[in-house]
DNA sequence: ACATATAATCGTAAAAATGCGATAAAAAAA
DNA sequence: TTTTTTTATCGCATTTTTACGATTATATGT
């Protein structure tokens, strides 16, 4: 890994990092992530219940988080059960560590 | 530090984390940070030169990065010399590590 | 088949972010 | 003092994001 004199990320990785950062930088989406940390496997409706926004808005935020890599959704009947995407989250944390270090 | 069953961050810390994430999630600002990594101490004009946006727009992005904690500016004559804010960056990286771990 | 439950998508309105040129401010140089 | 250099701020236009209700889609239950 390159870390002595330049950020050690490929162009694709940078894009992904930006996308995840952008998704994280919204208070509603941040709240969703916090909730999923304590309530893994909960369904969309559960998340709607604890947020100050509508079902459709929540659904859009979940889509942004999923596309960015923060969460994963599993269809369970008519519902969708969401969990944190541990792989991408760990990658994000590692990449942040590597991004701007001396 | 709390990490067994909940994100170990205070409300203030969460706000700061969100602000830093939001600032990072913009391609122009991301580019500025990458540039400052390789060119610490450079002045606003140097940054303007490598960006596809105007001086006034660059100045606004620098303000966002400074307010969020990513960079610091030091007045040097009529110019302002910018560096990465290592303290806040390290804090961000640590907080990201702690935020959503099992 | 019909009704119910759950979530996603569509269309659109409101709010926020981004961008620019012009101008102001402040220090340095002439 | 006047001019130059450099950056910040103002006013405004454009684009993007956020939000909502209404509708659609899909699976489940009756």
| Nucleotide minimizing C1' to CA distance for residue B55 | D7
- Count other C-beta atoms under 10 Å from residue B93's C-beta: 19
Domain A11-97, CATH: 1.10.10.10
Whole-number Å distance between alpha carbons of B42 and B86 = 16
**Encoded tokens for B4:** 């067994």
Nearest Cα residue to B37 out of A96, A1, A102, A94: A102
Domain boundaries, chain B: 11-99
pLDDT tier, B101 (very low <50, low <70, confident <90, very high otherwise)? low
Question: Between 1.10.10.10, 3.20.20.70, 1.10.357.10, 3.90.1150.10, what CATH number should domain B11-99 receive?
Answer: 1.10.10.10
Answer whether B93 sits within 8 Å of A97, measured CB to CB: yes
What confidence score (pLDDT) does residue B3 get? 42
pLDDT in tens, A53-96: 999 999 999 999 999 999 999 999 999 999 999 999 999 999 98
Question: pLDDT value at position B7?
Answer: 56
Residue A14 with chain B: CB contacts under 8 Å: 30
Residue pLDDT, tens place only, A8-56: 788 889 999 999 999 999 999 999 999 999 999 999 999 999 999 999 9
């Amino acid at each position: 890994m390159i870390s002595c004199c330049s950020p050690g990320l490929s162009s694709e990785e940078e894009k992904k990092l930006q996308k995840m950062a952008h998704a994280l930088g919204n208070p509603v989406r941040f709240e969703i992530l916090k909730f999923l940390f304590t309530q893994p496997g909960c369904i969309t409706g559960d998340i709607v219940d604890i947020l100050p926004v509508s079902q459709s808005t929540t659904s859009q935020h979940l889509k942004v988080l999923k596309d960015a890599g923060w969460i994963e959704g599993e269809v369970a009947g008519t519902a969708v059960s969401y969990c944190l995407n541990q792989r991408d989250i760990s990658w994000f944390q590692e990449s942040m560590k590597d991004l701007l270090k001396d």
